[in-house]
Chain A
Amino acid sequence: MSIALDTRPSVRSGARAAQEAARKAPALLGKVLSAVLVLIAAASVTFFAQLLIPGDRATTILNLQTGRSQKWSAAELAPVNEKFGFDHPVLVQWLHYVGGLFQGDLGTSFTQYRPVTQVIGDQLLPSLVLTLSALVVAWLLALTITLLTVKRGRFVSGLGSSWEAVTASLPPYWVGVVLLVLFAVKWPIFPVIGGTDLWGTVLPVLTLAIPLAGFLGQVTRDEFEKVLDQPFVTTARTRGMSDTGVRLRHALRHSVLPAITLSGWALGALISGAVIAENIYGRPGIGQVLVTAVNTRDVPTVSGIVLVVAAVYVVANLLVDLAFRLVDPRLAVSKGGQR
């Protein structure tokens, strides 16, 4: 046969691999840079938002300290203005705030007179543990239920998708209260007031994980059903693969992709939604701090927490991007450019 051999995207030698790495490096750098820009933007928005809150900031601080609500004389306000830098032009204050971010300085709390980083720092770890565990547990729940029930006859599939629809629509605070009443009060398996130990973490984690699992399960099931109808699944069956094999070795990997995309959003939503679980179980965390700070109009603390949540979103989405590329290597190709 004299027909020319195919020479499409193929020949990948060592040199080519190196080239590819060199090409990917700027892409990664770009992602990190844009993440930093997002954070600066978030900081700027919170900074200007606090300027828009009616009332003089120094007056607010003095009122908070003294527990009174009155007008203060210029002489009384001056030291406060100086301490917090309110006497500088707005632009300088903004530069100072954003500049401080890079040195790990989120400003000073109005109520506690401590750096915001300290106020948040003590509480951040329990919150991160809670949200990350909730995400992992949600994934395990969602995958188990999907794998066991998708396309297993009308009854079992119906059971699985109803479970997902119901749990996805449950409000977390309701789940929290019901779990508390059932497993801490009626059958006292878990403590009512959750500490940060393993045993006290179970119910708060479930409170957040169950509705999320329903949500992740729904998108995974949709995708799973579509994938099981794909020709490559038929091909695998014609090779003699069992149903379980097809599900685990072929369909699963394809069907988790949408849920991975959602996980970036979910992690951010979890950390800001953690306040519910933390309140119900009296668990320390930035949720509690946020509620207190909002009630006392402690603006720097609120801004700090908003920034932390934004940072979690940004990091989560970077991780999602990475995970997506690992699961679906096509992405690296298709994002490169259009043909």
Chain B
Amino acid sequence: MTILASKPGAAATAEREDDLLAVENLRVAFGGTEVVKGISFGIRPGRCLAIVGESGSGKSVTARTLVGLTGSGASVRADRLELGPTDLRHVGERSWRGIRGSEIGFVLQDALVSLDQLRRVGDEVGEPLKLHGWGDRGSRAERVVELLDAVGVPEPELRARQRPYELSGGLRQRALIASAIALDPPLLIADEPTTALDVTVQAQVLDLLAASKERGTAIILISHDLSVVARLADEVAVMRHGEIVEHGPTAEVLRAPRHEYTRALIAAVPSEHTRGTRLVAGSTSVPRTRRPIDRGRPLLEARHLTKVFRGPDGVDRTVVDDVSFEVFAGETVGIVGESGSGKTTTARIALALLGAEGGEVRLRGNPWSTLSDRDRRPLRSRVGVVYQDPLSSFDPRWPVGRILADALTRGPTPPSSKEESLDRIVRLLEQVGLGRQHVETGPLRLSGGQRQRVAIARALAPEPELIVCDEPVSALDVSVQAQVLDLFTDLQDELGVTYLFISHDLGVIHHLSDRVLVMKDGRVVERGTADDIFLRPQDEYTQRLLTALPRLEQATRGQG
């Protein structure tokens, strides 16, 4: 804890008397632990300040503190915490209720859980109006429809009567924003407003926030995603361990970061520029040494896969529609698409976890998807899998050693003794950047990145020829994601592993893949080498995806 931190902050805000919100030397502690350590910032009307950081940086706690909802047991101190003329440090609970919703609007991430699922969308959107005594029932209902219309929700009367689960992710997020801006608050705080959204939807939501900014609303954008920030923010404050390590105009911070952590964060974002290199700072210049890809007979071959599901309305939907592809030994094939594109279903069919109505998957030229379960079981170990959420695929009571020992016995050469098993477990852990000390650890005591490493070790244990990865880095912070992506490429260079890599993240796919399939509504709309797809897209949908994709480079355009 240093008192030093308040000095530069005070200097920075001294010249900004027209700030709508002024924060100086804000400190938040839970129990004895300080999670926000003296940060200062300010924001003027019509501007957007982004607070960027990874999980645990204190960015969300900061956001909550600004609406007086830090949580029970928190102690909040600040030299200055003012919204317009109001000193927020001395506001009682009753007055806070008057400020929330009317002076400060708040948008949380993932509207699926941030809207009350049991109430109608209209009631949720209109709730701030009702709470702050705006109009009567009839005029509020009209206003709700106006608001939904204003945020671009089609058929607003109908949507207002529906419940959040009946809306798509994008519409839900719009409804959530409509509720936050219902009373036209001068300050809007958006905490990860586009996380969990597809890129095209994300672009729409960002446009919506930009429109709000145009009208003079001040926006504080909390995000872990530098590319999202680049699209909207005028200023960026990078937070780490409760401190702001760098603060400046967006273009400047992203183009010429001064702090080492900011540089590492930017380097860790996978994109076309990072292809063929490692992502973790310090090693980015090291090019990969690829093993040759065997373009002879494909390792995995999928022909005309078709899968039909019956929807809740009793109507059949073709989720996978005539999908064909092949994967050669030693290469990485990426499947990219938005939610509902059928990419995960395709992966499950490739794994033969799911039967297909039509088509066939062959492994090394031999039948695979058409085998009976009994005949396939001895071959199962040849295809491994890594999921997005490793924790739910582990038995939480099993220590790491047991998880891996179990996987080893499934391979073609099960260990013959306890000693051999332990040796091989330690070797696996070392391969994925863990060690002997993790053998006895339970998965619950591992960090997200470590869990994913264990999941990769488990997939490697039976020495598979192919590993199917379904969104394996989507739940990780960008710097951890970089480490895990590096691990994937290192393993491929060392062991010659083949990957079928599923992701919604275009940057990840471009960084990692040799060849790419773009899926939409169950069909492959475009296929080709990664550079063909991302640099010279032919299909209209691929082009749209790439246009919607927020990029770091955008920060350097049209600003400063």
Q: Which residues of A contact B (CB under 8 A)?
A: 1-3, 5-6, 8-12, 23, 230-232, 234-242, 245, 250, 253-254, 327-330, 333-334, 336-339
Closest B residue to A235 by beta carbon equals B114
Given contacts A3-B548, A6-B154, A23-B314, contact A239 B113 (CB under 8 A): no
A339 and B309 contact, Cβ closer than 8 Å, known pairs A3-B544, A235-B114: yes
Q: Shortest distance in angstroms between A260's beta carbon and chain B's nearest beta carbon? A: 13
Which residues on A sit within 8 Å (CB–CB) of B310? 337
* Contact for A239 among B118, B127, B168, B313, CB less than 8 A: B127
* Contact B99–A240 (Cβ < 8 Å): yes
- Most chain-B Cβ atoms within 10 A of its Cβ — which of A242, A253, A337? A337
Please provide the 9 A-B residue pairs with the shortest distance between their CB atoms, ordered closest to farther: A336-B312, A238-B106, A240-B101, A239-B101, A240-B100, A8-B168, A239-B128, A231-B114, A240-B97
- B150 close to A (CB within 8 Å): no
B67 partner, pick from A2, A230, A231, A238, beta carbons under 8 A: A238
Residues of A near B109 (CB, < 8 A) are 231
Q: CA–CA, A9 to B108, complex, Å? A: 24
Q: Give A238's nearest chain B residue, CB to CB.
A: B106
Interfacial chain B residues near A238, Cβ < 8 Å: 67, 69, 100-101, 104-106, 108, 180
CA distance A339 to B313 in the complex (A): 11
User: Can you add 12 more A-B contacts, CB < 8 Å, to A6-B154, A235-B179?
Assistant: A2-B544, A3-B200, A3-B203, A6-B168, A8-B171, A9-B166, A231-B108, A234-B64, A234-B69, A234-B108, A333-B166, A336-B312
Minimum CB–CB distance from A155 to chain B (whole Å) comes to: 14
- What count of chain B residues pass the 8 Å CB interface test? 54
> Measured between C-beta atoms, what is the minimum distance from B514 to chain A in Å?
30
Least Cβ–Cβ distance between B443 and chain A, in angstroms: 22
Residues of B within 8 A of A230 (CB): 113
Q: Is the CB of B118 within 8 A of A240?
A: no
Is the beta-carbon distance between B155 and A10 smaller than 8 angstroms? yes
Provide the residues of chain A in CB contact with B97, threshold 8 Å: 240-242
Cβ-closest chain A residue relative to B114:
A231
Instruction: Tell me which of B100, B110, B117, B168 contacts A330 (CB under 8 A).
Output: B117
B residues near A237, Cβ cutoff 8 Å: 69, 100
A334 to B118, CA, bound (A): 14
* Shortest CB distance A266–B (Å): 23
For residue B318, which residues in chain A have a CB less than 8 angstroms away from its CB? none
Judged by a CB distance under 8 angstroms, whether B468 is at the interface is no
Annotate B143-176 by CB proximity to A: 1 below 8 A, 0 otherwise: 0000000000011001100110111101100001
B interface, CB within 8 angstroms of A: 64, 67, 69, 96-102, 104-106, 108-110, 113-119, 127-128, 131-132, 154-155, 158-159, 162-163, 165-168, 170-171, 176, 179-180, 200, 203-204, 207, 309-314, 544, 548
Bound complex: CA A245 to CA B93 (Å): 14
Contacts of A10 in B (CB 8 A): 155, 158-159, 162, 166-167
Contacts of B128 in A (CB 8 A): 239-240
Residues of B within 8 A of A338 (CB): 309
Report Cα–Cα, A327/B119, bound state, in Å: 10
Question: CA–CA, A296 to B109, complex, Å?
Answer: 67
B311 lies within 8 A of A337 (CB): yes
| Cβ contact within 8 Å between B312 and A254 | no
Complex contacts, B311 vs chain A, CB 8 Å? 336-337, 339
Would B69 and A1 count as touching, CB distance under 8 A?
no
A250: chain B residues within 8 A (beta carbon): 116, 119
Chain B positions within 8 Å of A235 at CB level: 106, 108, 114-116, 176, 179
Q: Is the CB of A1 within 8 A of B207?
A: yes
Of the candidates B116, B132, B207, B314, the one whose C-beta lies within 8 Å of that of A232 is: B116
Cα–Cα distance between A238 and B118 once the two chains are bound (Å): 19
Question: A257: nearest residue on chain B (CB-CB)?
Answer: B118
Cβ B314 vs Cβ A333 within 8 A: no
User: Which residues in A have their C-beta under 8 angstroms from that of B114?
Assistant: 231-232, 234-235
25 A-B residue pairs with CB within 8 Å = A5-B154, A6-B154, A9-B166, A9-B313, A10-B155, A10-B166, A11-B155, A12-B162, A231-B108, A231-B110, A232-B113, A234-B64, A235-B115, A238-B100, A239-B127, A240-B96, A240-B128, A240-B132, A241-B131, A254-B118, A329-B118, A330-B117, A333-B166, A337-B314, A339-B312
A240:B108 contact, CB within 8 angstroms: no
Complex: A245 Cα to B128 Cα, angstroms: 12
User: Can you name the residue of chain B whose Cβ is closest to the Cβ of A245?
Assistant: B131
CA of A12 to CA of B313 in the docked complex: distance in angstroms?
12
Query: Which residues from A are CB-within-8-Å of B67?
Result: 238
Measured between beta carbons, the chain A residues less than 8 angstroms from B127 are 236, 239, 241
Question: B99 to chain A: which residues have CB within 8 Å?
Answer: 240
Complex Cα spacing A3 to B167, Å:
17
Which residue of the partner chain A has the closest CB to B312? A336
With a CB–CB cut-off of 8 A, which chain A residues contact B113? Answer: 230-232
Name the CB-closest residue of A to B103.
A240
A334 to B165, CA, bound (A): 10
Which chain B residue lies CB-closest to A8? B168
For residue A338, which residue of chain B has the nearest CB?
A: B309
- Chain A proximity of B553: nearest CB distance (Å): 21
Give the docked Cα–Cα distance between A3 and B170 (Å). Answer: 12
State in angstroms the CA–CA spacing of A339 and B340 once bound together: 10
Residues on B with C-beta less than 8 A from A8 are 167-168, 171
Which of A11, A12, A232 has most chain B Cβ within 10 Å? A232
Q: Which of B110, B131, B170 lies at the interface centre, i.e. has the most chain A CB atoms within 10 A of its CB?
A: B131
Q: Measured between C-beta atoms, what is the minimum distance from A258 to chain B in Å?
A: 14
Question: Which residue in A11, A236, A242, A333 is a CB contact (below 8 Å) of B165?
Answer: A333
The residues of B that contact A234 with a CB separation of less than 8 Å are 64, 69, 108, 114
Q: How far is the CA of A122 from the CA of B260 in the complex (A)?
A: 86
Looking at the complex, which one of B106, B158, B179 makes contact with A12 (CB distance below 8 Å)? B158
- In the assembled complex, which residues on chain B have CB atoms less than 8 Å from the CB atom of A12? 158, 162
- Write out the residue numbers on chain A whose beta carbons fall within 8 Å of the beta carbon of B163: 329-330
The answer to whether B171 and A6 have CB atoms under 8 Å apart is: yes
> Could you say which of A5, A232, A241, A339 contacts B115, with CB atoms under 8 Å apart?
A232
Most buried by B among A239, A250, A254: A239
